[in-house]
Amino acid sequence: MAGGRIRAKIRRSSLYTFACYHSHPSEAEGPHDIEGPGYSRMVYCNQPHMHEQKPLRYCSNYISTTKYNVLTFLPKAIFEQFRRVANLYFLLAAVLSVTPISPFSAMSMIAPLAFVVGLSMAKEALEDWRRFIQDMNVNLRRATVHKKDGTFGQKPWMKIQVGNVVKVEKDQFFPADLLLLSSSYEDGICYVETMNLDGETNLKVKRSLEATLSLDDDSTFKEFNATIKCEDPNPNLYTFVGNLEYNRKVYPLDPSQILLRDSKLRNTAYIYGVVIFTGHDSKVMQNATKSPSKRSRVEKQMDKIIYILFTFLVFISFISSVGFIVKTKYDLPTWWYLQVPDDSGYFDPRDPLMSGFYHLVTALILYGYLIPISLYVSIEVVKVLQALFINRDLNMYDEETGTPAQARTSNLNEELGQVDTILSDKTGTLTCNQMNFLKCSIGGIAYGTSSSDVELAAVKQMALDEDRQSKAGTPPSWGKGRQGSGESEIELETVITSKDEDNHKPALKGFNFEDSRLMNGNWFKEPSADVILLFFRILSLCHTAIPEQDEVTGVFTYEAESPDEGSFLVAAREFGFEFCRRTQSSIFVRERYPSFHEPIEREFKVLNLLDFTSTRKRMSIIVRDENGQILLLCKGADSIIFDRLSSYGRTYQESTTKHLKDYGEVGLRTLALAYKKLDESEYYSWNEDFMKAKTSIGGERDLMLERLSDMIERGLILVGATAVEDKLQKGVPQCIDKLAQAGLKIWVLTGDKMETAINIGFACSLLRQGMKQICMTSNVDASAQNSKQTVKENILMQISDGSEIIKLEKDPHAAFALIIDGKTLTYALEDDVKLKFLNLAVNCASVICCRVSPKQKALVTRLVKQGTGKTTLAIGDGANDVGMIQEADIGVGISGCEGMQSDIILAVLQAVMASDFAIAQFRFLERLLVIHGHWCYKRIAQMICYFFYKNIAFGLTIFYFEAFAGFSGQSVYVDWYMLLFNVVLTSLPVISLGVFEQDVDSEVCLQFPALYQQGPKNLFFDWYRIFGWMANGLYTSLIIFFLNVIIFYDQAFRPGGQTADMIAVGTVMFTCVIWAVNCQIALTMSHYTWIQHFLVWGSVVSWYLFLLIYGELRLSLNVNAFRILLEVLAPAPIYWCATLLVTVACNLPYLAHISFQRLFNPLDHHVIQEIKYYKRDIKDRYMWRRERSKARQTTKIGFTARVDAKIRQLRGRLQKKYSSHGKDVVVTQQT
């Protein structure tokens, strides 16, 4: 058998809850009335040729998630590039450069623009090509399709048509939305995993119509024909309305017969289905959103800066033009040697306005250096190199899967440093969906010595706190702790590592229990051995799992509907009660009782199974043991179980309640276990009513079943409780804790039911004991008249009540959590409700949305993004997360796929291919944001500010000289100087700033997470800082021009007494520009390597090398610059003195500013830099820990907040203990 598994084929219906025993539609209310708009789809089963012509020609099964295609690439990509206002300006300048009025050649304007736009378009094309390859991997998957005469063959997914009959085998994905016709089980049942749709790994049960059960073999489809009339394509995953006409009868269809594309067949050998919706008509694709074009906030703000500079450019060009008009009209006629007017009419005193207009165009091009086109090229280069560093970060490399981090687009690097809210999927992102059995309470006695992560962290934190108090000379008030630990403040990674290292027992999936009293049969000696026996039997019997035995090892594993059940069965097996076999009516357990060394296989007859639902919050099984005793075994939420206990069944309630509270406080998931003995007469009487209700027809059926279930589940006897630790992905609690300390808000959006979502919230510390939960559900009867309005009013009332509760709360430590289900969210996202809902949500410490569809995930993300106006990041791992990932400002995909089959990897790739960044594990998000995000934001912000500074400093000197030279349009610089200014002489230092700059190193970023808030607060790219850099550029330009003019205006320059000409003055000014801007960037940098030194000072050296070479070329003769360095400038001491004086004068104010700021108003990173420079982090560890404790944002979620709450509780207990002890001493003394 495949995979070495043994599985018995059984009739599945005997295992199901009453919820699955619906009467068949043919026997119920009759076919649906589906006439009218929205129900026009006709499907001719097994006749796909009928759908090749309109109006029955539906879309193909080909899917595409690309932004472009062959026809749209050029127009759309060009549009994307010219959304950048600077590119628009340079396009206009390039067009004007072909006219005679341009001060530069056409090639010098067109070539840079073509290079910048072409480079960006090539990058867009490469990224979209990757999406296309991913789409084709899906489209070319193979499916087994009926051809003709009962024969089936392989066909690619993209060729499947509506009406095709498809055979899907175990562990394969459904290629389209199908109507289930039959399965390998006799009663048409199949198991489906919908993780890619709603995030749940719990298996769903689907069932075919009884009328199609006979279609269970290839040959039976030779003559098969039927017609389906159903609803039109829509995005609702949980509804379906249609009718099947087969053998001249009409049968109503509902969602329980529909198998959705991208869900997966599990625990079923095969199914047959007919295709209803294909391609983009399928529900999963209806939930998809188009690939958006994303731009970072920094880039958008940069556009605003360019608007300002362009306005300034037009303003000075207008001033220049007005000056030229005045000169042309009044002074030009007297300058006879200029021979005006000229033939072109550009200099015509008779029409000065037209000449002024020509000059305006010339000035717009001449002063174009104020708007640097090279900025975009430099930013593209910097971002690509930043992305390379992200990809090569070994600390984000997952060794288990061999998966590195991947920056799939480099456009959003700096956005990583400005995230305010993270919206995360649950399954596969936060969790492995694996539970570990850790503790239990049986007969009022607590068992299990293993500590949870919260317990270990709390004890360590308290010891560290006492150590600090001891060093500070303050005696501890709550007890004696370890002395001189010398350890850093709570390091959660170390806590977890030490926990794992101390446990030398081999890891067992699902079981981390340690207590010799229950292991290896020692429980026989316990005083309550009979209660323990019942406890173990409830674990091994009360479930719906299927056992699988490995043929090689003989070990049983379990396919369970929930990970809790799996952990209970593993625990039962380790305790000596191994569930080994299941038939239509029995469960077989190998019990190591009464002898632990001689297992006995016992049979328990299954009489009824009452399954767990979100409403019932409990599960029961009724069995008959080998002695003929009928037992009802029940497990469920403690509040539900306790309400159903008999008066004599509450013996252990008080002690069990205490244990449950203790388990909950340390983050464990708990269930209570109980049982009840049933008399034969009592059971048969109840079962008769139950079977009648089960086979009844009508809307009261479910209510009757619920009432009867509640009746039999009364009068229970409490046995004990379980406590399992949810197996989160490695490092998830620590990552969430660090992100919370960095000031980020975290929302969880999951398709799981509310109970599971809440438990995960506790496990990853988004929820904790004592946190007040605001649960929003739509509990109004949907069948009532005006139900939609009634439900909306009820939801508005819940929102209002929740907001009022938060407003009236006085406790500063109080924390609120908002939990909302998908049905309620549908109304909460409507236009007249969503802002009120958002206001409530942002006032809560954590938000969990459960039972949400992929489209709702995207809509919630859009609401947060647009409603708060802040940067959002969405992270997920499956196809159901694609919409959310694309809608967020930043999308992160989880790419770790260890042990997955190729088809699952392709499904995971949908999230990765839609994402902007891909990481192997959620824990790497901490490093991606807190380190790379922080660095990239500061680097890009400083780089852009510096770029505008240097171009203003350079460009305005051209304007000053033009005004000085009578607004003639003459540039003081040689064309080659201006061409090399941005390309060679100042480009590499600014790139080194954008790539290598670090205010603090990576370890300090993690130790001081509050540094991250510099990004969301936009401290380095706000208007104050931008205008400050612009003012610095203005000041520098004034110093460079006027100081040089003052020095060289009538000063002897050559040995013969001659003054400097225009070329000499221009070269001196350009030398000052090069020195000033490169010294400025040297002062800006905080972190130096040899690369920065080489590039900064190498740029200065390259300027002198250029002058040396250029002066020897024939080109220099054209502009009177022959041997400009060797013979003109270098021999003149005034050249070197002027360079030194101007450079110092330009940079002195900035040096004074940063010195004053560091002394009197330092930023966080300034303080850390000083501590590190003087090595106080090594010399004074206490001070270093104190500063670290300050450097985290106050948060009410995360592991640290949970530990703090636990510490407050422990201190309260100890204080009470010592207070009572003090009173006892006083009483004794008085006595």
* 332 contact partners, CB below 8 Å, separation of at least 6: 338, 340, 347, 349
- Of all helices (H) and strands (E), which one includes residue 458? helix 453-471
Instruction: Report CA dihedral (572, 577, 580, 584) to the nearest 10 degrees.
Output: -90
Report how far residue 475's alpha carbon sits from residue 481's, in angstroms, rounded to the nearest whole number: 11
Is residue 135 within 8 Å of 416, Cβ to Cβ? no
Please tell me the distance from the alpha carbon of residue 586 to that of residue 785, in angstroms, as a whole number: 46
Distance between CA atoms of 817 and 427, rounded to whole angstroms?
20
Cα dihedral 647, 652, 658, 660 in deg (nearest 10): -90
Between the alpha carbon of residue 1213 and those of residues 385, 666, 1108, 1203, 1206, the distances in Å are: 55, 16, 81, 15, 11
Measured from the Cβ of residue 1084, the count of other Cβ atoms closer than 10 Å reads 19
Q: What is the C-alpha to C-alpha distance for residues 853 and 424, in angstroms, rounded to an integer? A: 14
Angle subtended by helix axes 1199-1230 and 453-471, to nearest 10: 60
**DSSP per residue, 738-750:** HHHHTT-EEEEE-
Nearest C-alpha neighbor of 34 from the set 201, 224, 227: 227
Preceding amide of 55 cis, omega within 30:
yes
* C-beta separation of 1179 from 724 below 8 A: no
For the chain, the first-to-last Cα distance in angstroms comes to 81
Q: Are 108 and 117 in contact (CB under 8 A)?
A: no
**How far is 275 from 240, CA to CA, in rounded Å?**
14
* Residues known to be catalytic: 425
**How is residue 228 written in tokens?**
């389906």
* Strand partners of residue 427: 431
Helix axes 1062-1084, 1090-1110, angle to 10 degrees: 170
H or E element at residue 445: strand 445-447
What is the rounded CA–CA span in Å between residue 670 and residue 394? 38
Q: Scanning the structure block, which residue is given the tokens 């300048």?
A: 93
Distant-in-sequence, close-in-space partners of 682: CB < 8 Å, separation ≥ 6? none
Q: In Å, how far from its chain's centre is CA 14? A: 42
Instruction: Decide if 302 contacts 870 (C-beta within 8 A).
Output: no
Using DSSP, state whether 155 is helix, strand or coil. Answer: strand
Determine the Cα–Cα distance for residues 352 and 326; give it in Å rounded to an integer: 8
Q: Rounded to whole angstroms, what are the CA distances from 986 to 120, 334, 1097?
A: 22, 43, 10
| C-alpha R_g of the chain | 37
- The 3-state DSSP class for residue 270 equals strand
Closest CA to 335 of 964, 968, 1062: 968
What CA–CA distance (Å, rounded) separates 1131 from 892?
60
Question: Looking at residue 970, what DSSP letter applies?
Answer: -
In Å, what is the CA distance from 873 to each residue of 66, 135, 425, 887, 1020? 21, 24, 11, 9, 21
How far apart, in whole angstroms, are the C-alpha atoms of residue 703 and residue 1101?
87
Cα distances (angstroms) measured from residue 754 to each of 567, 745, 818, 852: 20, 20, 12, 10
Q: Please state the separation of Cα 603 from the chain's center in Å.
A: 48
